[in-house]
Amino acid sequence: MTATATATATVTVDVTEPAARFRDLLAAEWLKLWSLRSTVWAYVIGTLVVVGFNVGATYDRYRYWTARNAADRADFIADGIAHQYAYTTNAGTVMMLAAGAIGAVAITGEYGTGLIRTTFAAIPARRSVMAAKAGVLTLVMTGYGAVVAALSFWLSQAILARRDAGVSVGDPGSLRLVVASALLAPVCGLAGMAIGVLLRHGGAAIVTVVVVLLVVPLVFADDRHWAAVVDHALPSSAWMRLVDVRYDPGVGIPFPWTVGGAWTVFALWALGAAAVAVFAAPRRDQ
C-alpha cells in the first residue's frame, strides 16, 4: 500500500479596489447633501425670507406711491431707484447669513456626527473629497442664488410696473444686479465651509460667519484709505458696489472703486475659501 502525499498549493490573490473617480465623489456628496430633510427646508425657508423682504419693501412703495408728489415719483423713475427694490440690502444680509450658515453646517455636521472619519477612511484622498464637497456646494448654492435673485427681480418689478415705475432685465445695470445677487450665495457658502473646516464646530462656525460677513463690514468705513481698502475687500461691500446701478464716484465718495474690482473680490473670496477647505482638511483630524 503506497501512501501518496498530495501537496496543496494556496494561491493568494491580491484584490485592489480601483481608486474612486472624482465624478463618483461628486455623486456621493450630492446624495449626502440631499439625504437630509433639513437641507431642503433650509433652502425653502431662505428663499421665502429673502424674496419676502424684497417683495414686502416693493409693495410698501407701491402702496404709498400716490402719497408722494409728482416730482418725487419722477425722480424715482429717473434715478433708477427701482433697482434698489429688486434686491434690498436687508435681503442681501439675510442671504449672506443663510448661505454662510448652510456652508458651515455642510461640513461641521459631518465632524459633529463623526461621519467625516468614515468618509476619510473609505477615501483616503482627503483633498479630492473636500474638492467634491466644495464643487457640489458651489453648484447648489449658485442655482439657489439664481432662483432667489430671478424671483426677487421679477416680482418686485412686476409690482412697480403697475405704477409704470419698474425696470426690465434689459435696462442698464439690471443683469449685473441679478448676476451679482445670484453669486452672493456661493461666495458666502464657500466662506462658511472654509470657516467650518477650520473650526469644526457648528455653533462656533456660524458665529464666526456672522462676524466675518456681517459685523466686520460695519467696523470699516470708506472715509479713510486704509479702511476703504479693507472695506472694499469684503464680499458684502463688493456686492453692494455691483448692485449700485447709479454709483457716482463724485465728491461724496473719497475712495471710489470699479465694477471690475468688485468682481475680483467675489472671485478671490470664492477661490480662497475653496482652497482653504481643500488644503486645510488633510491637516486637521478629529
Q: 144-200 pLDDT, tens per residue? A: 999 999 999 999 999 999 988 888 898 888 999 999 999 999 999 999 999 999 998
* pLDDT at position 13 over 50: no
What pLDDT, on a 0 to 100 scale, did the predictor assign at position 262?
94
Percentage with pLDDT > 90 across the chain: 50
Rounded CA-CA distance 276/281 in Å is 8
Q: From residue 11, how far is each of 8, 14 by CA, in Å?
A: 10, 10
What is the percent of the chain where pLDDT is above 70?
90
pLDDT at residue 71, rounded to an integer = 81
Residue the block writes with cell 467675489? 266
User: How do residues 214-229 score in pLDDT, each as one tens digit?
Assistant: 999 888 877 788 888 8
| Full-model pTM | 0.86
What average pLDDT does the segment 24-50 reach? 87
Closest CA to 286 of 103, 133, 126: 126
The pLDDT, as a whole number, for residue 7 is 47
**Selected residue with higher pLDDT from 89 and 222:** 89
Biggest alpha carbon–alpha carbon distance for the chain: 123
Residue 8: pLDDT band by 50, 70, 90 thresholds? very low
Buried b (16+ CB within 10 A) or exposed e, 58-93: beebbeebeeeeeeeeeebeeeebbbbbbbbeebbb
Distances (CA, A) of 130 to 110, 115, 276: 12, 14, 10
| Cell numbers standing for residue 101 | 450658515
Confidence of residue 250 (pLDDT cuts 50, 70, 90): low
Predicted local confidence at residue 223, as pLDDT:
76
